[in-house]
Chain A
């Protein structure tokens, strides 16, 4: 059974999230502000944290930074629209993904599941998401068993997206990993490679979705896989 920690200053929101999570078998603890949230996290060792960005006092970002000093528990950000810069800041400070208020509980649960999956230790050179298989040993990518002809850049781009399958990856995170030595603004190059990669992936079950102002998310369109 997974343990979830909710850090949100709205009591009703906490109560409701607790109901939703408990109905899915989560064990739930909560806190109404950052400092208490950190204490709860240290005490209960949750498997996943839901963190509201609009916390009073020590804000959401600060809470996240402090948490990341000693814990790598998956964190889902609860945010409102028009906060792209803050979402990016949260993601680049170690948050795993975000949902935008008002969100539906199906979306929330799906995101929670995805961000917890990443914690499983990786011991195989193969990453699989839906019909997409990446063989890191031979630097090969297969979609529906068919070998994709990718350039080295496209392969490492697809690798970072697949490693984060279902989760958003910020533009900076991608460029730092794919073009570690490049100083100039690589946004344009990134778009070009994404464009090529999309053409090679076609419409066969996986899709690279753009989140304006934030980054990209590799979506597996067959959720049962």
Chain B
């Protein structure tokens, strides 16, 4: 309720009480009116703000004096006892008004604190729940990862024990590697999508990141010639080399899938003011026109895609790059072939 409304309502209440006391005056005497007014002040104090309550207390005192204390209709008081009474009324009304409003204010503060504490507790609880959920999620992922990778390891180790010339063994080997890639990609996309990828930037040489990306693809890349330019003279960069390598490896693998054997794959590194740029260009058929952006969608397979991919590699690459606040884009090179550009904000020092 607004202050004006409280004051208005107070005046109305005062008018009603004063009228009632006026009617009862011949039977009760003027002291009765004083007590009724005091009660009114106390009740107002339990509901309204301090200002209006104190105003009402003052008005009550004045009204009581004017209407009830003899001689009536003057502010003059005849008997010394009534002067004392008036003074007391004034003090009691003001202090009652003050005390009741203060009590209420304190109650309100306490309640507010209580609510704040409850909010805080529930927030803490929520954070704990989120941390617990994340931990559970990670445990689950680790356990699934373990469950899926163990049989693949067993198959691969067992294959190693078989005669390498056995054509069936070769088929099993190829299928197992493919299965392994699918499993790893599925686990990785899950990690990326659940924000479980936490970049840990450290100083590194870009050549190390390229090495890490290319080593697991030795087989696939042996069908192509890979030219690396621009990486030689870059300074040390602060970035998460493992994540960048993983992202790049998926792009390279994609290139080996689409570009015919014997063609060049170019990797060009360049350093801008604040970001590293890696361009991977193949000499394959290029991206289907108009679908340059869609290749980063999960499970997107361009028409005529050769088998061997999982439809996840480029989605993972993008997820990893974005987790590092970078990005990856694709286009068709004006002279043919697909070109992927990985950009990544990096820290480096000019010297050395």
Interface residues of A (CB under 8 A from B): 10, 12-13, 16-17, 19-20, 23, 54, 80-82, 84, 101-106, 108, 187-188, 190-192, 194-195, 209-213
Contacts and interface: CB of A to CB of B under 8 A. Distances in A.
A212 B249 CA distance: 14
Interface size class of B (residues with CB under 8 A): 20 to 34
Q: Which of B153, B184, B236, B240 has the most CB of A within 10 A?
A: B153
B158 interface: yes
Interface string B192-207: 0000000010111100
B146 interface: yes
Nearest to B155: A102
7 tightest A-B contacts by CB?
Answer: A212-B242, A102-B153, A210-B208, A105-B160, A212-B241, A188-B203, A101-B153
Given A195-B205, A213-B241, 9 more contacts: A16-B158, A20-B161, A81-B149, A101-B153, A190-B203, A210-B204, A211-B212, A212-B208, A212-B212
Contacts of A10: 150, 154
A191 B241 contact: no
Interface in B141-156: 142, 145-146, 149-150, 152-154, 156
Interface in B31-84: none
A195 to B, nearest CB: 6
Contacts of A81: 149, 184
Interface in B235-255: 236, 240-242, 245
Interface of B: 142, 145-146, 149-150, 152-154, 156-158, 160-161, 180, 184, 191, 200, 202-205, 208-209, 211-212, 236, 240-242, 245, 352
Contacts of A82: 145, 191
A55 B92 CA distance: 79
Given A102-B149, A102-B152, A187-B202, A210 B236 contact: no
Nearest to B202: A187
B203 A104 contact: no
A54 B158 contact: no
Nearest to A102: B153
18 contacts: A13-B150, A16-B158, A20-B161, A101-B152, A103-B156, A104-B160, A105-B161, A187-B202, A188-B203, A191-B204, A195-B236, A210-B212, A212-B204, A212-B208, A212-B209, A212-B240, A212-B241, A213-B202
